[in-house]
Amino acid sequence: MEKKPPERYRASARDVFRDYGGGAIFLLFIEIWCIRDGWFNPDYEHIPFNRIMSYIFAPVLVFCIIMAISAGLTLRKEKQQAPPPQPPKPPSM
């Protein structure tokens, strides 16, 4: 008797859109803050830290944006599809 591996949880498109979309907004604010303090604020004392963190956060931000857009397109496609046909109701007496 073969053992089947347990089924993995697969997040729905709505969960992915919510999680990655929220993460993208959060990372966008952090990215703007790091860029502002790293390049446009010469009086700030932690310039190297902010420049390094802006390079680290940029690919993560791009990944979150791509995931959120992909999930959003999936949700739009599901919404545009016609609902499945309903079985005919028996006549009532």
SS3 70: helix
For residue range 46-59, what is the model confidence (pLDDT) as tens digits? 899 999 999 999 99
SS3 49: helix
- Sequence ranges of the domains in the chain: 20-79
Mean pLDDT for the stretch of residues 73-81: 90
pTM confidence score: 0.76
Q: Which residues of 39-51 are buried (b: 16+ CB within 10 A; e: fewer)?
A: eeeeeeeeeeebe
- Across the chain, what does the average pLDDT equal? 90
34: tokens are 């790091």
How far is 69 from 20, CA to CA, in rounded Å?
9
